[in-house]
Structure 1
């Protein structure tokens, strides 16, 4: 995460991490939620997921994905938002509370915990990539004598 916890890039990064982290791991980071009010109670809906042919071509609609969103406000007036894949209302609420806390002085305490989650996610991604790389097949063609 960038050094300035209030930068737009930093917030984008921690919101992404909160959305991708498993609910039980996020609950371990913040087991007890501080006092907060709901601006938008957790609600479940769908979003359209788009893909691109060869990652650069024309976009196409891949299908719908279930998401849950929530918005909270802390006692100090800081607003937090959480959007997570699936139907976990508690996950969306916890993500929103952590987003709000990361915009306050509590970020000093939460940043090392989120950095540990990020490191774990990167390790898991490298493990998946190595496992996939082990199944890679290299194709080659032999040149026939009459083609030379």
Structure 2
């Protein structure tokens, strides 16, 4: 699910087109809402409310009965719906392996490539700071 959440809508849709999708219905029409973000000072301090973030959510049911839920950060209703559909398909014995092979694996590789490219760009701007000793004359 992390792979889907970090992927772009067009990429998810493109890979899903390679699968003959079963019939499904919306249990919850895609909608936008808010979630409270929690934080901790230093990672181990007392939790506090950091702020709110907009999310889109959806729920679908396959004709075979599997129910999937999808959440996407931001206001992207279609992405939340496709994530919910993928969640339901992953629960189906008929579609789980196909979804992993034709959707999740290619998206995972694409995300890994993006991360490596960003890491390379960040490494290219790395600056090593060191202290230089002034050349003072000794007598």
Matches of 1:144 and 1:63 in 2, distance apart? Answer: 49
Q: CA RMSD in A?
A: 2.2
The reply to whether residue 110 of structure 1 matches residue 99 of structure 2 is yes
Cα deviation for residue 142 of structure 1 reads 3.1
Cα deviation for residue 135 of structure 1 reads 0.9
SS at match of 1:102: helix
Cα deviation for residue 25 of structure 1 reads 0.4
1:29 corresponds to which of 15, 21, 24: 15
1:137 corresponds to which of 124, 127, 130: 127
Cα deviation for residue 97 of structure 1 reads 0.7
Cα deviation for residue 57 of structure 1 reads 4.4
Cα deviation for residue 143 of structure 1 reads 4.6
Q: How does 1:69-80 map to 2 (within 5 A)?
A: 69-80=57-68
Is there any run of 5+ residues in structure 1 with no aligned partner, and where?
A: 1-14
Cα deviation for residue 75 of structure 1 reads 1.0
Q: CA deviation digits over 1:22-68, x for unaligned, max 9?
A: 000010111375321222211101223344555x3435544332110
Is there any run of 5+ residues in structure 2 with no aligned partner, and where?
A: none
Q: Could you state the TM-score of these two structures normalised by the residue count of structure 1?
A: 0.77
Q: Could you state the TM-score of these two structures normalised by the residue count of structure 2?
A: 0.82
